[in-house]
Amino acid sequence: MKSTKARILTFLSIAIMVCADHAKAHFNLNQNVRIHHVAHSKDGLDVYIRMPMPYLVAELVGPEGPDGLPAPAPYTYNQIEDGVLMHYVDQTALDADPIGLAAIAADSFILTIEGQRQTANIISVRLNPVGQEPGFATLDEARAALVLEDVFSTKEATYVGAVTVDIHLRFIGGQFDTYSLSYTSDPGLTGQEDTANLILDYNGNKVRAHRVRGLMHDPVEVSGSATAAASTFFVEGIRHILEGPDHVLFVLCMIIGALNLHSLLARVTGFTLGHTVTLILGFFGFAPSGAWFIPSVELAIAISIIYAAAMAVWPPEKGHADLKAFAITSGIGLLHGFGFSFMLHQILRVDAPNVWHSLLAFNVGVEAGQVMIVFLVWPLVLLLRKQPGRIWVGSRAAVAACASLIALVWVIERAEFFL
């Protein structure tokens, strides 16, 4: 099965190569996280950025030449491997002019104060193979990472997609408490709309963490407001559940399986308590670290949807039905909480500033997203229940069947990891 899947992926990759915009598609991303540390001083702002290298060079690939290959982007060279165009770091160019790579970043990065774009002064740049990066979770770690002697810590041939770039920019212009950050670049990478941007603002003794998704084409306003900072994690919590089809399907099955409002509250409360516990435990590392664990959780989440769909059609018998539903959804919530924590941990480490504030805001956002689904679906459930019995029973069964079929596809896909 795996070899068949590999052949299909290879075929798709070759097909993409013949498209007009083919070059960008081969900058494979091993991660899509950008971290920004912004330190205030009397003279201005120091910005320390870590991002995957494809974000800098993917859109700079040139037109196709006589050999059928596109002109390589700056600081890269192309090579065909098994019929697939791959991009490598050009270490000769990097050694000759490392500041030029930072200049590409500075051109696309916009810091605005009182409506005026500020001029970036490039202080230093460093590259790291993915998995070998020095710490970058705190301001001290970011500063230390950018004073290392070697611009690139390896001389081995390295894929562009397997490299992160650290850049130190300085903006001189006085003391400012409020500013905005944005980017003009559009690298055209698969998954770039899910880019996780973390902005950590250090102003005196105050540290504010902001979380934004996407390419940041719209300016992100940063101020000393703790509420404004927390609101970015709140919004991401909402988006995570509303844009996560597995979470939406599970909540939907909980709603249609509730016999009344009291029953619905029991289910929702149980799910909330369950995922809150494991979100915190998983984030702080109290979970197995083996490579099997995350795929196991994803598989279990898909199975939980099938179980929730069955429970919606055949709810627990009366007597202690609400208590049983509470216990069941609490247990399933434990699984979903790990799923939330894995995503959040990608951009926020345990020792990051104000981690508890960010965790709380994210979790409240998850609950808000869940409540939105309830408010949208529950009135429709009540309306259908007022119709002749067959209409409600048939509608509930149809929804549960569709959710089960979708989840079954996920079960099959996620089970491939163990084959």
What does the domain layout of the chain look like in residue ranges? 23-224, 242-418
pLDDT at 267 over 80: yes
Distances (CA, A) of 26 to 19, 79, 88, 94, 127: 12, 11, 11, 21, 20
Q: Over the stretch 326-366, which tens digit does the pLDDT of each residue have?
A: 888 999 988 888 877 776 766 666 556 667 777 888 888 88
Least confident interval from 140-144, 316-320, 343-347 = 316-320
pLDDT at 394: 92
CB 179 within 8 A of CB 45: yes
Phi then psi for residue 126, to 5 deg, are -140, 145
Of 358, 78, 330, nearest to 201 (Cα)? 358
pLDDT at 235: 86
Residue type, position 294, single letter: I
State the Cα–Cα distance between residues 323 and 253, nearest whole angstrom.
17
Of 43, 38, 16, nearest to 27 (Cα)? 16
**Average model confidence (pLDDT) across the chain:** 84
Of 127, 12, 10, 25, nearest to 70 (Cα)? 25
Q: How confident is the model at residue 396 (pLDDT cuts 50, 70, 90)?
A: very high
DSSP code per residue over 250-313: HHHHHHHH-SSHHHHHHHHHHHHHHHHHHHHHHHTT-S--STTHHHHHHHHHHHHHHHHHHHHH
Q: How confident is the model at residue 284 (pLDDT cuts 50, 70, 90)?
A: confident
Across residues 240-246, what is the average pLDDT? 86
pLDDT at 350: 54
State the Cα–Cα distance between residues 268 and 39, nearest whole angstrom.
41
What contacts 7, CB < 8 A, 6 or more positions away? none
Strand 196-203 vs strand 33-40: parallel, antiparallel, or unpaired? parallel
pLDDT at 351: 59
Determine the Cα angle at 342 with ends 364 and 164, to 5°.
115
Place of tokens 């979903």: 336
Most confidently predicted of 41-50, 194-203, 386-395: 41-50
State the burial class of residue 154 (Cβ atoms within 10 Å of its Cβ: 0-12, 13-18, 19+): middle
pLDDT at 144: 95
What contacts 111, CB < 8 A, 6 or more positions away? 45, 47, 117, 118, 120, 171, 179, 180, 181
Distances (CA, A) of 269 to 254, 314, 342: 11, 20, 22
pLDDT at 287 over 50: yes
Of 236, 257, 255, nearest to 343 (Cα)? 236
